[in-house]
Amino acid sequence: MESKEVRYHVPALLQESMEGLDIQPSGIYVDVTFGGGGHSREILNRLGEDGRLFGFDQDADAEQNIPADERFVFVRSNFRYLYNFMRYHGVAGQVDGLLADLGVSSHHFDDEERGFSFRFDGDLDMRMNQRAGKTAADVMNTYTEEQLIDVFYLYGELKVARKLSALIVRSRIEKRIQTIGDLLELLKPFTGKDKEKKFLAQVFQALRIEVNDEMAALKALLRQTLQVVKPGGRVAVITYHSLEDRLVKNFFRAGNFEGRVEQDFLGNRKTSFRLVNNKVITPSDAEIERNPRSRSAKLRVAVYTGAYV
């Protein structure tokens, strides 16, 4: 029988991320993307009696995976509020390691009622937190043409963003775009059989990022690591598309999101991190075979030095 974790989500780069965090038995750790709890359970396996782990997730479905472990504290929140909760729990500036696995869980993709996948029909929702916020249908029906162009070009990297946005604005005059089926019908002029899946994946990615404000949340998280992780502590981030990976790479290497390298008067690069892996870590062929959804995962790990805050 499959475990609950396997059914919910198979964690990507599990051993590599644990090695990157270099877990100390009595340390304090944060898993800001708890989800199915796979990474969290492995962290707990490596902690001693005095260790502590905080797990963040805004999705109510994730709460069914909370481990019965006194060392674990679940925080029902988006990780963009990391510092406030760590301060509340009295551990801001004391965290030994932080892990973020930014992928959408298999559970979300396989739940036809959540609207994350073009394999099912259902409402265009795509909210990680179904208790609040705008849906993908709201984006499709209320955004201006220019706003839609930005969403599809910036977050989906679609060359046809302008044509697609114009079609959406024309189509919604006659009928609200409410379901996945409505959207797929609208996209037919753009999808040739050879590139259909890739194109649909880009469209759905763009909408999901916009609905959940993912890029702003990631920037907020990375900035707050400077207030939460102690000098010598580690930050490990697993990304799944180039937009996320670029932000993480630039922030670790240059201390900003643009990748603009600045130096102090001694010629040292102004960044608060020292890279653990100069080359990005990707899944092995064996892992991709076991878990095809891990194929686009990229892991970057850095040590917080405490400098240039």
Whether 306 has a pLDDT exceeding 80, the answer reads yes
Mean pLDDT, rounded, of the chain: 90
Is there a single domain that holds both residue 219 and residue 164? no
115 domain residue, yes or no: no
Q: Return the ∠ at Cα 212 (arms to 220 and 170), rounded to 5°.
A: 130
Is there a single domain that holds both residue 144 and residue 293? no
Is there a single domain that holds both residue 198 and residue 239? no
Whether 116 has a pLDDT exceeding 60, the answer reads no
Q: Which domain holds residue 160?
A: 130-211
Of 57 and 132, more confident? 57
69 domain residue, yes or no: yes
Structural domains of the chain, count: 2
**Separation between Cα atoms, residue 47 and residue 49, nearest integer Å:** 7
Whether 224 has a pLDDT exceeding 80, the answer reads yes
- Write down the pLDDT at residue 107: 43
Is there a single domain that holds both residue 174 and residue 299? no
223 domain residue, yes or no: yes
**Separation between Cα atoms, residue 111 and residue 92, nearest integer Å:** 36
The answer to whether residues 309 and 239 touch, using CB atoms and an 8 Å cutoff, is: no
Is there a single domain that holds both residue 80 and residue 29? yes
User: Taking residues 61-90, what's their average pLDDT?
Assistant: 96
Identify the CATH number of the domain in which residue 196 sits.
1.10.150.170
**Separation between Cα atoms, residue 127 and residue 119, nearest integer Å:** 17
Q: Report residue 195's pLDDT band, with 50, 70 and 90 as the boundaries.
A: confident
User: Taking residues 152-157, what's their average pLDDT?
Assistant: 95
277 domain residue, yes or no: yes
pTM listed for this prediction: 0.90
189 domain residue, yes or no: yes
Maximum average pLDDT range among 20-24, 121-125, 211-215: 20-24
Share of the chain above pLDDT 90, in %: 76
Identify the CATH number of the domain in which residue 18 sits.
3.40.50.150
Q: Which among 211, 243, 263 is the end of a domain?
A: 211
Q: Which among 179, 211, 243 is the end of a domain?
A: 211
Transcribe 129-156 into DSSP letters.
STTSS--HHHHHHHS-HHHHHHIIIIIT
